[in-house]
Structure formats: structure tokens, C-alpha cells
Amino acid sequence: MPERVPLGLLISGRGSNMEAILKAAADPTFPAEPVLVVSNRPDAAGLAIAAARGVPTAVVPHRAYPTREAFEDALDAVLRASGAQLVALAGFMRVLTEGFVARWRGRLLNIHPSLLPKFPGLDTHARVLAAGEEESGATVHLVTGALDAGPILAQARVPVLAGDTPGTLAARVLEAEHRLYPEAIRAFVARGLP
Ligand code: GRF
């Protein structure tokens, strides 16, 4: 069995994408091994999910740091200490600076609930519906200094259905996210890390 890539996960809340990745990683053929789940919010529900699966957790509360850079230094330090070689953002709600991104260049992944480059940013599903789109989906991409704009690694498409609300569309997209993110990590690691 080839060695698995140590994987850090960054969350801010519910952590359902993180959970999907931890479930996938329970299969020993999954090429990445979750070594740490970090939340910037102490009350993130995902922390308990990770702990229940035996994955170490850490909280780096952004409010406790005087600057974005100081917060990111602390985040970087816990990730380095964990041995992570690859980092997956999974509902992580802080924008990362170019400085942090540069330290992890090519090793920082994110999932966004739209078919990027369409609908970056927040309130995605409401904006998809307001625009009258016939389909939406999810995108896994490399993180760069520009929000939701890094190179696209994988996408999953779902239909927008008559009568959809932001909530019903979000739920359909989320199911697709849970399949897409683990598969995208698998394919990304298979191509080799930079
Ligand atoms: C997901 O829709 C993800 O694409 C977006 O935030 C949501 C996080 O959900 N970035 P969860 O915390 O993974 O359940």
C-alpha cells in the first residue's frame, strides 16, 4: 500500500463535506489520510464529528488574533505541526491572504457550491435561482489569492427544478458535493503533489 498523503481539513461549521472526506478516507485505498481538522469557530458542529471519528481537532479562533496575518500564522503552525501536506477547505468561511496561499501553493483545495466561474461568493443558490439557471452544481478548485477563482479540478452538475428554493437547491447540490470532493481529492493526489 503506497503511503497516504497527510491531509488537513479547515472548517467553520456543519462539516458535512469534511465528514464525507473522512468517510471516504476510512477506505485504506483512499490516497490521503486526515491528520487534523481545524476550525476557526469553537462552536463548529464538525469538530465533534471529526473527534467521533478519531481525527485530531484544533480551534484557531480568528477573533483572538489582532490581524489576519497573525491568525494565518497560527493556522499555518497547527497545520505544519500536524504534518499535513495537503489542505482541504470544507465550508471554511475565512478569506485567506495571498501570503498564506503562497505557503501552500498547489496544495490548498476548496469546494464551492456553484459551477464556477459562475456565482463565486456568498448566497450562491439564491443568485442561481434569481438568474433563472437551468442547472447548478459544485466545483472543487485550487485556492489562489482571488476568491473562488483558482484552477478548477472537478465539477458535478445538478438540475435546477421548478419550485426550487435556495434551500432545496442547496440540499441537491450538497449531495453532489459529498460525492465530488472525495473523488476530486483522489484524482488530485493520483496526479502527484507539486
Ligand atoms: C458547502 O456548500 C460548501 O460548498 C460551501 O459551504 C458549505 C459547507 O457545508 N463552501 P459543510 O460545512 O461542508 O456541511
User: What tens digit of pLDDT does each residue of 100-124 get?
Assistant: 999 999 999 999 999 999 999 999 9
N-term to C-term CA, the chain: 21
**Confidence band of 59 (pLDDT split at 50, 70, 90):** very high
Can you give the pLDDT at residue 193? Answer: 86
Q: Can you give the pLDDT at residue 1? A: 57
29 CA to centre of ligand 1 in angstroms: 25
| Cα 41 to the center of its chain, rounded Å | 15
CA of 83 to the centre of ligand 1 (A): 24
- As a whole number, the mean pLDDT across the chain is 96
Q: Is residue 108 within 8 Å of residue 97, measured between CB atoms?
A: no
* CA-angle at 83, arms to 81 and 109, nearest 5°: 110
Q: Can you tell me which atom of ligand 1 is nearest the CA of 112?
A: 4
